[in-house]
Structure 1
Amino acid sequence: MPYRVELSKSGRAGCKNKECKDNGIKINKDELRFGTWVTIQEKGTWAWKHWGCVTPSQIKNVSDAIEGDFEQLDGFDEIPEDLQDKVKRSVEQGHVDNEDWKGVCQQSCRHHRQAPLISISGSRVQCPW
């Protein structure tokens, strides 16, 4: 399975979301994170993102890969039940919960009209929806 969910083990991993990466934002220890398996120079490793930085297209890819069987998602059975529910809900609705989303939408976005117009680093970002 090319995707994994888990609680961050150390707080040293950087998020691969462009904004987080550009600002050197790390994933805190024990924070839910999402990994994509990547191969670089014939070596495999996980590329991590904050759960709140996972885009709807990535959620769709997970949904397509697991075909409703969450036990196929690497690490799913290792996270607490409340986080399992969060992951299931996100896959079923096609995006992470609004309160988890780390980006911000335009004022015209129908998904996040009440969200503030600043992101985790203080800059504006586009809504993924």
Structure 2
Amino acid sequence: MSNNEGTNKKSGYRLEYATSARAKCKGPKPCSGSSIAKGELRVGFVVDFRGNTSYSWRHWGCTTAKVISNMKSQIASADELDGFDDLKDEDKDRLRKAWEEGKVADEDIPETARKAPREEAEEDEEKPKNPAI
């Protein structure tokens, strides 16, 4: 978690580099539950659990088009996201590009979020119904 939590939040989102490898990705499957490596760019969503504010994290590459759309509905530009000013220039450029295009670039999606070709084929096949026993 960041040291400035709860101060000057413009939205319920935060961008930062993971301070350890303890956080697990809360993005879509198959990445959900995988570790976010120390130093990796991540996006946090403010969650309130019994009055305690915390973040739910996901890899930057696991940020969906819907999440970006939700961000855009709350703030005018990527530059206004909490933590943006602390990012490296190349990451700022990646964020601005994703903001414009409405989705994260393919090369930013982590391997843990990519389905194996076999898994995709299995999902496409109709699953047989279990007979009543």
Q: Calculate the TM-score normalised by the size of structure 1.
A: 0.75
SS in 1 for 2:108: coil
Partner of 2:72: 63
Greater Rg, structure 1 or structure 2?
2
Query: Structure 2, unaligned stretches of length 5 or more?
Result: 1-10, 124-133
Equivalents in 1 of 2:21, 2:51: separation in Å?
A: 26
2: CA distance, partners of 1:69 / 1:78:
13
Identity value in percent: 34
Work out whether residues 78 and 96 of structure 2, in 8 Å CA contact, stay in contact via their aligned partners in 1. no
Give the structure-2-normalised TM-score: 0.73
Instruction: Pick 1 or 2: higher relative contact order, CA cutoff 8 A, min separation 6.
Output: 2
Read off the aligned partner of 2:27 and give its amino acid letter: N
Question: Match for residue 106 of structure 2?
Answer: 98
CA distance in 1 between partners of 2:62 and 2:78 (Å): 23
1:14 matched to 2:24? The reply is yes
* Inter-partner Cα distance in structure 1 for 2:105 and 2:28: 20
- 3-state SS of 2:103 partner: coil
- For 2:83, the aligned partner's letter is G
Structure 1 Cα separation of the partners of residues 98 and 56 of structure 2: 20
1:39 correspondence with 2:48: yes
- The 3-state SS of whatever aligns with 1:49 is strand
Flag the structure with higher helix content: 2
Aligned CA RMSD, in angstroms, stands at: 2.3
The number of residue pairs the alignment matches comes to: 109
C-alpha spacing 1:45/1:97, structure 2 compared with 1 (3 Å): same
Change (3 A) 1:69 1:26: closer
Could you list the runs of 5+ residues in structure 1 that have no partner in the other structure? 105-116
